[in-house]
Chain A
Amino acid sequence: MWEESATSAAFCMAMVEKAAQVDKNTPLLSVRELLVRFKLGDGLAAALSRGPSYLKAVDEVSFDVGRGEVLGLVGESGSGKTTIGKAILRLYEPQSGSIVVNGVDITRMGDRALKHYRRDLQMVFQDPLSSLNPRHTVRTSLRTPLLLHKICPSSEVEQRIDEALTRAGLSPVFKPRYPHELSGGQLQRVAIARALTMSPGLVVADEPVSKLDVSVRAQILNLFKDLQAKFGISIIFITHDLRVARYLCHRIGVMYFGKLVEIASVEELFTAPKHPYTKALLGTLGAEGENLDGAQVAGEAFNPAADTTGCRYYARCPMRVDHCKTAHPPTETIKPGHDIACYEWRRS
């Protein structure tokens, strides 16, 4: 991974002059050592504890997304999945690390230059109600970005909106509705349609099917699959549903408290998971996950604000040894395409 990063950094310098042609082998997206932190609390507590405390929501995470690849991100709630997505779209400013799109480093790019990329990078937000303007009808919400980015002649805008809604499984009769007049699943499809009208190169889809019934979900998952196959769109697919991830994704990354703890191809991850947390997650699938008893508890967990040393998973790990307390394990490549951060993976 490291050599790759160095060459792509050199490569991206060249790209600044010649942005047009990009080597097919350059990943569409390269995220390196990404660190996003938030200030925690304020007032007295912060003053007493010698300066503000921070929460590292995303802690030195690196991964690539290839052209036409679907990368799944799964993991603990609150582990930083949404934050990664928002940082890639530059909705959050990273503390350090880099985000390279098509060979061009956009980590600190100014707003004007960024406008060009904004269209190419789209996000379907986890919470569609707060991502759509409550005072805009569905039609307006879809039309505004089309006109802003001059995606198509204004005479074709209406047709394009209808197509996008229909593809997202929603009848165009809902165009005059306001967000609060739609059901959860209908809203989610509006959000999907809006991202797709832009013909993006990369879509960050944050739990895009979690509010849909299984039949509509099948339709949307098939749609994502087609978009990827026909148009080579790359997708970062954030989901908590492992079966959905297995169906759609080529590779899957597993997050735990800001850290990417394992990343591997779907086959590899499902047949030979190595990280204890990945194993715990997969253990909830299938027959043994069918009853509620005996499942493990998320209670005793890492405190992201206070604990700074040691493996993030230490408190819950059934395989922990004393050594794990010293520092969070570094990421190792144990096979081409299979990276893991655990000292004890050989024992699994």
Chain B
Amino acid sequence: MSDVTLTLRNLSTGFKMGGRVMNVVREVDLEVRKGEMLGLIGESGSGKTVTGMSILRLLPENAVTEADTLDFLGIDLLKLSTEQFREMRGTRLAMVFQDPVGAFNPAKKISWHLKQVFERAGTKSPAHAERAKNWRASAIKLLADVGIPHGANVMRQYPHQLSGGMLQRTLIALVLVFEPELIVADEPTTNLDNIVERQILRLFRDLQKRLDCAFLYVTHDMTIAAVLCDRIAVMYAGSIVEIGPTKQIFADPKHPYTQGLLASALALDTKTERLQEIPGELPSPGKLPPGCLFEPRCKFAKPECRAKEPAMVDVGGERHVRCVLYGHG
């Protein structure tokens, strides 16, 4: 068997709006290896969540997803029926949502959610079956692992009675019950204080090491990306503009957008009067500029950048950049 958990080739997703399809994710190629944390970073609205939801078939009716390849551990996800896919979602590939509120049934207590999940996971392995039998004790232990020490109290509460961060941790606990082979984690630790956050990250790391679990890890936090991820993919306006090993990207960002992003991130580490922004904004969907999408905001832009969208260029050392400064691919 290969050591790749997920292979994406030429994934595009759009939404039908006012009679036409507006693409918000365009021709994305990604590979997440076994036991790897692949970080996905980039401008708000650039398509990170939609990429994750496309993989897990979680998008609404008006979404249109196309891909050449969508392979999960040798299984061609494109060929699975809705029913077959539903069997796998949650158990083998799972998503921790950016917005935990929507993932819960507001009319049911936390204990109900946990019970359901433990029972569903019970068929996965003898260890899972054992945990399902003692689901209440297992749940309390798991909640403690995600930094909720008094799980018995929390289990009696309804989702709206938990703080933002407690709900987020409960959602993480629900996902961890299955020990899935791939987790798409969409900003899983926003809303958590640093101490709890670190605890959760250690839990992810443990899952990754112990079970070879692969992560597609969406984050805005560059410190987390730096300590947690093996490789980083940078997204801009629906495209991957740079991808490579974490250390190299942080030490020597190649794409002008990545450079701006990292400069903005570093600004908060030093005492400044005013933070540096990348001037301009993301092009609105439906009104993309010709050529390089970053051109209107790029300080290195030259006429050829407007001619056509730059191709991904292999710059060596497992690094790829979509920018004419590094050649034409």
B163 & A183 in contact (Cβ 8 Å cutoff): no
Chain A CB count within 10 A is highest, among B44, B99, B164, B267, for B44
Interface size in chain B (residues, C-beta < 8 A): 65
A77 near B101 with CB under 8 A, answer no
What's the nearest-Cβ distance from chain B to residue A156, in Å? 24
B194 within 8 Å of A (CB atoms) = yes
With a CB–CB cut-off of 8 A, which chain B residues contact A169? Answer: 281
- Determine, out of A15-23, A28-36, A138-146, A284-292, the stretch whose residues face the partner at the interface: A284-292
Task: Output the least CB separation between B144 and chain A (Å).
Answer: 6
Please give me the residue from chain A that is nearest to B162 by CB atom: A78
Determine if B199 and A184 form an interchain contact, defined as CB atoms under 8 angstroms apart: no
A127-B101, A218-B275 in contact; A210/B190 too (CB < 8 A)?
Answer: yes
Q: Which of B44-67 contact A (CB under 8 A)?
A: 44-46, 49-50, 60
Q: Decide if A181 touches B15 in the complex (CB within 8 Å).
A: yes
Contacts of B99 in A (CB 8 A): 127, 129, 184
CA distance A243 to B102 in the complex (A): 29
Flag if A299 contacts B147 (CB, 8 Å). Answer: yes
A126→B156 contact, CB < 8 A: no
CB proximity to A under 8 Å, residues B254-295: 260-261, 264-265, 267-269, 271-272, 274-278, 281, 284, 287
* A192 vs B163: C-alpha distance when bound (angstroms): 20
Bound Cα distance from A7 to B192, whole angstroms? 38
B149 touches A292 (CB 8 A): no
Q: Using a CB-CB cutoff of 8 Å, which residues 133-191 of chain A contact chain B?
A: 169, 171, 173-174, 180-186
Q: Does B314 make an interface contact (CB < 8 A)?
A: no
Judge if B318 is at the interface, Cβ distance under 8 Å.
no
A169 nearest in chain B by CB position: B281
Query: Are A218 and B264 interface neighbours, CB within 8 A?
Result: yes
Q: Which of A82, A281, A293, A296 contacts B164 (CB 8 A)?
A: A82
Tell me if A212 counts as interface (CB < 8 A to partner B). Answer: yes
Closest 9 CB pairs of A and B: A185-B44, A77-B165, A218-B275, A284-B194, A243-B268, A214-B264, A41-B156, A78-B163, A298-B147
Do the beta carbons of A292 and B268 come within 8 Å of each other? no
Nearest residue, chain B, Cβ from A256: B193
Task: Tell whether, in the assembled complex, residue A300 and residue B165 are in contact, meaning their CB atoms are under 8 Å apart.
Answer: no
B187 located at the interface, meaning its Cβ lies under 8 Å from any Cβ of chain A in the complex: yes
Residues of B within 8 A of A214 (CB): 220, 222, 261, 264-265, 268
Residues of A within 8 Å of B201, CB to CB, are: 292
Interface size on A, residues (CB 8 A): 67
* CB nearest to A180 among chain B residues: B60
Q: Is the CB of B191 within 8 A of A213?
A: no
Q: Which residue of B lies closest to A210 (CB)?
A: B190
Chain A residues with CB below 8 A from B222, complex form: 214
CA distance A120 to B57 in the complex (A): 43
Query: Which one of B164, B169, B260, B275 lies within 8 Å of A222 (CB-CB)?
Result: B275
Query: What is the minimal beta-carbon distance from B15 to any residue of chain A, in angstroms?
Result: 7
Complex alpha-carbon distance, A210 and B274, angstroms: 19
Residues of A within 8 A of B287 (CB): 173
Interface string of B163-196 (1 = CB under 8 A from A): 1111001000000000000000001001111111
- List A contacts of B277 (CB < 8 A): 215, 218-219, 222
Contact across chains for B44 and A76 when beta carbons are under 8 A apart:
no
Report the nearest B residue to A211, measured CB to CB: B190
The residues in A between 232 and 269 inclusive whose CB is less than 8 angstroms from any CB of B are 240, 242-244, 246-247
The complex places the Cα of A321 from the Cα of B222 at a distance, in Å, of 39
- Closest-CB distance, B257 to chain A (whole angstroms): 9
Find the B residue at minimum CB distance from A300. Answer: B149
B248: CB under 8 A from chain A?
no
Residues from chain A with a CB closer than 8 A to the CB of B98 are 184, 211
User: Which residues of A lie under 8 Å from residue B46 when comparing CB positions?
Assistant: 213
- B10 sits at the interface (CB 8 A): no
Contact A240 B156 (CB under 8 A): no
Interface of chain A residues 39 through 69 with chain B (CB within 8 A): 40-42, 45, 55
With both chains docked as a complex, state the minimum distance between the C-beta of B193 and any C-beta of chain A, in angstroms.
5
Known A213-B261, A218-B276; judge A77-B281 contact (CB<8 A).
Answer: no
Find out whether the CB atom of B268 lies under 8 angstroms from the CB atom of A244: yes
Return the contact of A173 from the options B149, B261, B284 (Cβ within 8 A).
Answer: B284
Within 8 Å CB of A290, what residues of B?
223, 226-227
Task: Quote the shortest CB–CB distance from A133 to chain B (angstroms).
Answer: 15
Contact across chains for A45 and B156 when beta carbons are under 8 A apart:
yes
State how many angstroms separate the Cβ of B286 from the closest Cβ of chain A.
8
Chain A residues near B165 (CB, 8 Å)?
A: 77-78, 240
Q: Are A213 and B44 in contact (CB under 8 A)?
A: yes
Inter-chain CA distance A126–B162, complex, in Å, is 13
Interface pair A184/B191, CB less than 8 Å apart? no
> Is the CB of A13 closer than 8 A to any CB of chain B?
no
B43 interfacial by beta-carbon distance below 8 Å? yes
Interface residue? A87 (CB, 8 A): no
Please report the C-alpha to C-alpha distance between residue A250 and residue B264 in the assembled complex, in whole angstroms: 22
A-B contact pairs, 28 of them (CB 8 A): A41-B156, A45-B156, A74-B193, A77-B166, A78-B163, A129-B99, A171-B281, A184-B44, A184-B98, A185-B44, A207-B164, A207-B190, A210-B191, A214-B261, A214-B264, A217-B220, A218-B275, A243-B269, A244-B268, A247-B268, A247-B272, A281-B195, A284-B198, A289-B198, A292-B202, A295-B195, A295-B202, A300-B149
Complex CA–CA separation, A244 to B193 (angstroms): 13
Cβ contacts under 8 Å, B194 to chain A:
240, 242, 281, 284-285, 289
Cβ of A103 < 8 Å from any Cβ of B? no
CB distance B102 to A212 under 8 Å?
A: no
A42 CB contacts on chain B under 8 angstroms:
156
- Chain B residues with CB below 8 A from A74, complex form: 193
CB proximity of A244 to chain B, nearest CB, Å: 7
Expressed in whole angstroms, the Cα–Cα distance for A225 and B273 within the complex equals 10
* In the bound complex, CA of A131 to CA of B156 (Å): 24
A15 to B28, CA, bound (A): 62
Q: How far is the CA of A291 from the CA of B198 in the complex (A)?
A: 9
In Å, the complex CA distance between A79 and B223 comes to: 24
B105 interfacial by beta-carbon distance below 8 Å: no
